[in-house]
């Protein structure tokens, strides 16, 4: 093959931009040259729905086995561990230890608990969390006393965006969550299910989370206008609809990971508009002030067809058409 016509540094930038703006071209770009393969293959796994026995996950596990340790660190930026298949804890935490470039992390019930919390504490770039906090901390069985969270777990020290899928029920240990949240030093965006959160707790969170820019309370139906008025006149308090249905909830997460318009983008826009307008806060207690988030539902990854690994040199992403014989 002829020598490159452009400086390698410029080539690298061009291919990096191509993988970001046109991710569907990555498998083709990987075949251009060995140097291009090294630049582009990590981008194939930039956003990963981790689910055992599916094409992207098995391809990724194969890639980190056959490449250098640096490959894993340069690949995954956003990952969520999907339901319902069980995920071996040793494997999942090993992935987290190797993928030190992770910025966004989400998980469901098959992969959570103290061992996951410990692994998250070793991710220096982690900023976004979407999970059940009580399950992560094993609070659901009262096995960990409050005092064990001093000092604050390393996993929480740099979190800016926290989306909790905990059910805030009156009979639960939600008071622990309310007490812990103000200790997140970098927290700017917090989303919780409205459920039974008391008004005084809402006011307390707005006052005590020092860096907070958004407090989003999600509901299944439009609660506005509230009969007794808003819990707070603070413009950072927003009520919105985010579906609890699995595919739609994680579809919003995926949209944000791709740089698209997600619940955080919509809420930021709403709060900025409030601040600019100088409108009376009572106008926010109207049905029109309720924000509804609608993104494309998550498409589950395809299972690995028998014989696919042997036939092809590498596996494709789930949104690429597979050869007809594997349909």
- The span from the CA of 63 to the CA of 42, in Å, is 9
- Joined tokens for residue 257: 């990971």
The string over 251-261, giving b where at least 16 C-beta atoms fall within 10 Å of a residue's C-beta and e elsewhere, is bbbbbbbeeee
Read off the pLDDT band of 313 (50, 70, 90).
very low
Q: What does the pLDDT look like over 25-63, one tens digit per residue? A: 667 656 666 665 666 677 788 999 999 888 889 989 998
Strand ranges in 152-299 using DSSP code E only, listed in sequence order: 161-164, 189-193, 214-219, 237-241, 291-292
pLDDT tens, 58-106?
989 998 998 888 889 989 999 999 988 788 999 999 999 999 999 999 9
Confidence of residue 324 (pLDDT cuts 50, 70, 90): very low
Cβ atoms of 191 and 163 closer than 8 Å: yes
Structural tokens at position 241:
């609809």
Answer for the pair 74, 101: CB distance below 8 angstroms, yes or no.
yes
Question: Residues 220, 222, 227, 231: is their CA dihedral positive or negative?
Answer: positive
pTM, 2 dp: 0.84
Residue holding tokens 């026995």?
53
β 189-193/214-219 pair status? parallel
- What confidence tens digit (pLDDT) does each residue in 279-302 have? 888 889 998 889 988 888 888 887
**pLDDT for 8 beyond 90:** no
Instruction: Give the whole-angstrom CA distance, residue 213 versus residue 268.
Output: 8
Tell me how far CA of residue 282 lies from CA of 183, 233, 237, 279, 323, in angstroms: 31, 8, 12, 8, 58
CA–CA–CA angle 189, 165, 72 (5° rounding): 75
Which residue is listed with tokens 């393969």? 37
**Average pLDDT in the chain:** 83
Task: Encode pLDDT of 118-158 as tens digits.
Answer: 999 999 999 999 999 999 998 765 555 554 578 899 999 99
- Measured CA to CA, the distance from residue 142 to residue 126 in angstroms comes to 27
pLDDT bin (cut points 50, 70, 90) of residue 22 is low
Is the pLDDT score of 176 beyond 80? Answer: yes
């Amino acid at each position: 093959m002829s020598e490159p016509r452009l400086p390698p540094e410029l080539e690298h930038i061009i291919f990096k931009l191509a993988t970001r703006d046109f991710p569907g071209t990555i498998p083709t770009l990987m075949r251009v040259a060995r140097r291009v393969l090294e630049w582009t293959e990590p981008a194939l796994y930039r956003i990963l729905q981790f689910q055992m026995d599916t094409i992207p996950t098995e391809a990724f596990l194969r890639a980190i086995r056959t490449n250098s340790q640096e490959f894993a660190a340069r690949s995954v930026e956003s990952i969520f561990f999907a339901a319902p298949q069980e995920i071996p804890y040793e494997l999942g935490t090993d992935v987290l230890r190797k993928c030190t470039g992770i910025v966004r992390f989400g998980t469901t019930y098959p992969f959570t608990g103290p061992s996951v919390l410990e692994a998250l504490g070793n991710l220096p770039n982690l900023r976004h969390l979407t999970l059940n906090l009580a399950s992560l901390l094993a609070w659901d069985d009262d096995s960990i006393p409050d005092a064990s969270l001093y000092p604050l777990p390393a996993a929480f020290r740099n979190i800016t965006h926290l989306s909790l899928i905990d059910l805030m029920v009156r009979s639960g240990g939600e008071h622990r969550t309310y007490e812990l949240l103000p200790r997140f030093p970098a927290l700017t965006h917090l989303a919780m299910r409205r459920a039974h959160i008391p008004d005084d707790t809402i006011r307390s969170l707005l006052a005590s989370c020092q860096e907070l820019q958004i407090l989003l309370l999600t509901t299944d139906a439009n609660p506005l206008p509230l009969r007794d008025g808003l819990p707070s006149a603070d413009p950072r308090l927003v009520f919105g609809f985010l579906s609890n249905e699995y595919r739609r909830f994680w579809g919003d997460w995926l949209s944000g990971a791709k740089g698209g318009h997600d619940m955080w983008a919509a809420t930021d826009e709403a709060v900025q508009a409030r601040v600019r307008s100088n409108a009376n806060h009572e106008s926010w207690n109207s049905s029109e002030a309720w924000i509804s988030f609608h993104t494309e539902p998550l498409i589950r990854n395809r299972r690995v067809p028998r014989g696919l690994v042997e036939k092809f040199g590498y596996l494709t992403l789930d949104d690429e058409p597979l050869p007809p014989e594997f349909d």
